[in-house]
Amino acid sequence: MNQLDVHTHTIASGHGTKCTITDMAREAERKGISLLGISDHGPATLLSCRPSYFRSLAMAPKRRCGVELLYGVELNILDYEGTVDLDLDTLSFLDYAIASLHRMNLKPGSRTENTEAYIGAMKNPHVKIIGHCDDGGYPVDYEALVQAAGEYGVLLEINNSSLLPGGYRGDTRENNLEILKLCRCYHRPLILSSDSHGKDKIGEVSCAEKLVLEASYPAELILNYDYHKFKEFIRK
């Protein structure tokens, strides 16, 4: 059973949703999610929150509506060296960080450049997850990515939103199958995420789980099924 969802966005991300953190927690409780991570977009995203918002999360309650909360950020990777849009001091106030490529912040480069951008971000000690690296608009060397994830203690994400029909990242199925094949080969854990903007999709990873079953990926390597194991992973 899926116990957690750590790639979610509130009103602070500036994407049109009006949901607050409490709204998100209330929905997570209704859906039986034990651990909810709030990962609003970093400040380089248009209309998203400023660094002061992320620093203030250190004082936010760690439990709402019976749900344990983690506070993170979905960082924007800004260049092919892996620079991100919050500094180390601000990131130290948070429980974890996701790092992702978004077209508004960095245009797709070559396969080598995109791979180096992801790996550069992995070297940041606060980055624990690479978000939606299945995006076909950013071709990457998945074997190099999986090996680097093991070296730097980072999880690759199977993003449920990417797998929905008509998604703006195109058909990500084959890329996700390649990620699953290589993670299985190298015995790397991974995370399934809803990428929910607002409360409606919290905990929704059915497309990702279907693909995981098709790929015969070991359940013990999916950290959604043991939130204590996930918390231990991000604290290393």
- The 10s digit of each residue's pLDDT in 93-121 is 999 999 999 999 999 999 999 999 999 99
pLDDT of the residue at 236: 82
83 close to 77: Cβ distance less than 8 angstroms: yes
In the three-class reduction of DSSP (H, G, I as helix; E, B as strand; rest coil), residue 15 is classed as coil
Report residue 157 as tokens: 């994400």
What is the pTM for the complete model shown?
A: 0.97
Task: State how far the Cα of 114 lies from the Cα of 103, in Å rounded to an integer.
Answer: 12
Task: State how far the Cα of 85 lies from the Cα of 88, in Å rounded to an integer.
Answer: 10
Task: State how far the Cα of 87 lies from the Cα of 144, in Å rounded to an integer.
Answer: 26
Report residue 111 as tokens: 């396969």
Would strands 97-100 and 127-130 be described as parallel, antiparallel, or unpaired?
parallel
Tell me the average pLDDT across 121-146: 97
pLDDT of the residue at 169: 84
Best CA proximity match to 75, nearest among 88, 65, 63: 88
Query: Amino acid identity, residue 28?
Result: A
